[in-house]
Amino acid sequence: MSLATHLLCDDCNTVTALTTLVNLCPVCGGLLEVQYDLAGASPNLASHAAANRQQGMWRWRDLLPLPEGATEVSLGEGDTPLMAMEELGARLGIPGLLVKNDGLMPTGSFKDRGFALAVSFARGLGAERGFTYSSGNAGASFAAYCSRAGLDATVFVEAAANDTKVAMISMYGAAVYRLHYDSSAEIFDALDALARAGQHSFVNFVNPIRHEAMKVYAYEICEALDWAVPDVMVHPVGTGGGLWGAWKGFNELRSLGLIDRVPRMVGVQPAVCAPLVDAYENGREATVRTGDASATMAQSIAGDDMIHGGRRILRAIRESGGRAVAVTEEEIAEAMTLLGSAAVAAEPSAAVSVAALLNGREAGWLAEHDTVVAVITGTALKQPGAVLKVARPPRGDVRADAAEWTRIIGAPVFAAPAIHSATSPR
């Protein structure tokens, strides 16, 4: 029950009820402020706050690896919203559509769960520095968690990353270098050589801890659904760490007896560079080099090959009865626009989760009764250039003119009380 009681005017103390639409004080035109009956309710509030559990990823600490005595490095990651998307779902023929919005993570992408855990783990074992290569978001996340933990971070960021992403890595305090290469294979070879030489890598799978944190997807989603299981989980795939971690989490929940089945895992890549889809469709156990990573705006998942041939990811989607889906640049732009209209700001690599659903019913791998979780892995703010490309420009230019604004806005929505005094302070 709301403890709010009334609106009070700053200037003349007039009380206005909360039961009708109003903007300014009806007596003097002053600013109104909501008042509460806090005194009677305070014991209630205190006990409610005390009963609240810790929020975020570390609620699941018992199911995550952390060395004895290690402390958690946290920026408030996890417990992102799982939102029912009735209108968007109806439009796509899947009314049970849900969006897990990881664009709301501390550094704006789903990478934060992984780095919270991997950096905590490494520091707990005495690491003082580490490195990662990154398409942009991983570098920012790694840099932020290293700053928080007091580790020195070096980031090799793909030269194709936009200036904002690169600058964010620097702003979080890491040493950043632009990475140039012709094929992803060159990066994998370098990673392999460094790992064998004892350099501490924070790259998915080369680092065995990072993707573990992605299990928490499964925990959060099933908990929010009161331990029901979605039929389908859709995730963008770069290295596949996100999809693989989620898959592991769902299987653990099944082993724990909390759920009785697992979702069909759907991995999504841009059609112009889709090594996973290529291997999936051709029945191979590993990816081969294919496509042009520079030809997509989904830069966070653009690669012409996958670490260790994407074998784990192919296994997860096949064992789960899921699939790998390629989406066109037009579908990615359309998904960004649809998501925006549904109040979710996704960067292109995140919007592919919804782009994959555009034709799912038609293609026959989605049914009307399916509960589908589409993960939004990063916020649109990370890629301002893509926002400028897909968003409708402003509809015109105006002056501060009440008559002109009224023509644009339309008819008034409440019967405005005649304000008695015209001397309200600005």
What is the smallest separation between the CB atom of 420 and ligand PLP, expressed in angstroms? 54
108 binds ligand PLP (CB under 6 A): no
d(CA 137, CA 348): 13
Residue 370 DSSP label? -
CB of 82 to ligand PLP, least distance (A): 17
Which region, judged by CB under 6 A, interacts with ligand PLP, from 91-99, 240-248, 328-336, 354-362?
240-248
Q: Residues 345 to 374: which contact ligand PLP by CB under 6 A?
A: 347, 349-350
Residue 106 contacts ligand PLP per CB under 6 A: no
Q: Which residues contact 21 (CB under 8 A, 6 or more apart)?
A: 413, 414
Q: Using CB atoms, what's the residue nearest to ligand PLP? A: 378
- Residue in the block written with tokens 């570098």: 139
Residue of 124, 241, 263, 360 that binds ligand PLP (CB under 6 A)? 241
Q: Confirm or reject binding of residue 242 to ligand PLP (CB under 6 A).
A: yes
Q: For residue 295, give the amino acid letter.
A: A
Q: Binder to ligand PLP among 74, 80, 107, 109 (CB under 6 A)?
A: 109
Residues making up the chain, counted from first to last: 426
Residue 35, classed as helix, strand or coil, is strand
What is the spatial distance between Cα 271 and Cα 327, in angstroms, rounded to a whole number?
Answer: 5
Q: Of 293-322, which residues contact ligand PLP (CB under 6 A)? A: 300-301
Find the binder of ligand PLP among 236, 249, 291, 322 (CB under 6 A).
236
Interaction pattern, residues 371-390, with ligand PLP; x per rule: CB under 6 A: ------xx------------
Name the packing angle between helices 215-224 and 241-255 (round to 10°): 60
CB contact burial 11-41 (16+ within 10 A = b; e otherwise): beeeebeeeeeeebbbbbbbebeeeeeeeee
When binding is defined by CB under 6 A, the residue of 100, 111, 113, 123 that contacts ligand PLP is 111
DSSP labels for 271-313? TTS-HHHHHHHTT-SS----S-GGG-S-GGG--SS-GGGGHHH
Minimum distance of ligand PLP from residue 262's CB (angstroms): 19
Which range of residues in 85-93, 236-244, 280-288, 384-392 is near ligand PLP by CB under 6 A?
236-244
Single residue of 74, 204, 287, 320 touching ligand PLP by CB under 6 A: 204
The residues binding ligand PLP (CB under 6 A) are 109, 111, 137-138, 204, 236-242, 300-301, 347, 349-350, 377-378
